[in-house]
Amino acid sequence: MSPRLAMPALLRNWQPISCRTYSSGRVTLAFDLHQPAKGSSPEHAPIIFMHGLFGSKKNNRSMSKALARDLGRDVYAVDLRNHGDSPHNSRHDYMAMADDVAGFIKEHKLSKDLTLIGHSMGAKTAMTLALQLPDLMKDIISVDNAPWDVALLSDFGKYVRAMKNIEQAGVTKQTEADAILQEVEESTPVRLFLLTNLMRPKGETKQKFRVPLDTIGASLGHLGDFPFKDPEAVRFEKRALFVRGTQSLYIPDEALPVIGKFFPRFELADIDAGHWLIAEKPEEFRRVVVDFLQPAE
């Protein structure tokens, strides 16, 4: 998600293994399995890593590899529904995405000592699942998002409209698509990020987007929301780490009391970066996560 949003209304040389899960009743999530060079130890539970809006498992490839190496744990970088190589579905909200991840955990018979890591949209998915089914995991790491409702600005709507214009224009080159995106987004890194979703279907010359633009566009009005409103009714009593980009608006100081009510054992780690802190400060992020997850001596 973009770091630009309104203040919350509440408070003014190794390759991954590419796989796909199959199950009934839920969207099946595509994933990359990143494993330690010497293999994971049976006592080391896996990590599930979730991307943000318009992202994919590819965004977290380097970090997943580093965490697998440093922690000796398998890291499953997943594509959430309507993103990457995962199937499309007309429903796109946090309860549905959390249910997909619960199905992924069940399908793979993953240990209940696992860790959830999520950035932005993936962070709210992780928080939702933690509050709904806390027994499925040992701890969570929420990256630059908080458990409350926010009002997103119009950036994403502009992105979706520009992406639709790109498809309608029948572009055959990324440079053509980038020229259209420049009309709504001046940041080259943001445009390149959005264009990671551009692909050329087999046998065709025109490029299209992997994400279902109509579905994403229709979901924008509620993707800033959080499905749980009453911290007195539901809490995650296990460890939780909230990683905040100090140049981002997603976790202002006003959010900390709310986080504490839903996640009473939470810890806060500040990184001098914007919303895309994993990409901006990867070493700082890796160190923070490893320190939090490293077994005590």
Give the model's pLDDT for residue 221: 87
Give the model's pLDDT for residue 2: 37
Q: Which domains does the chain have, with CATH numbers?
A: 9-150+226-293 (3.40.50.1820), 155-219 (no CATH)
Give the model's pLDDT for residue 62: 95
Report, as ranges of residue numbers, the positions in the chain whose pLDDT lies below 50: 1-24
Q: Which residues form the catalytic set?
A: 120, 275
Q: Is residue 12 a contact partner of residue 63, using CB atoms and an 8 Å limit?
A: no
**How far is 132 from 255, CA to CA, in rounded Å?**
20
SS3 183: coil
- Tally of CB atoms within 10 A around 277: 25
**CA dihedral sign, ordered 134, 140, 143, 147:** positive
Structural tokens at position 142: 């929420």
Give the model's pLDDT for residue 37: 86
Q: What letter would DSSP give residue 270?
A: E
Give the model's pLDDT for residue 20: 39
Structural tokens at position 259: 């986080």
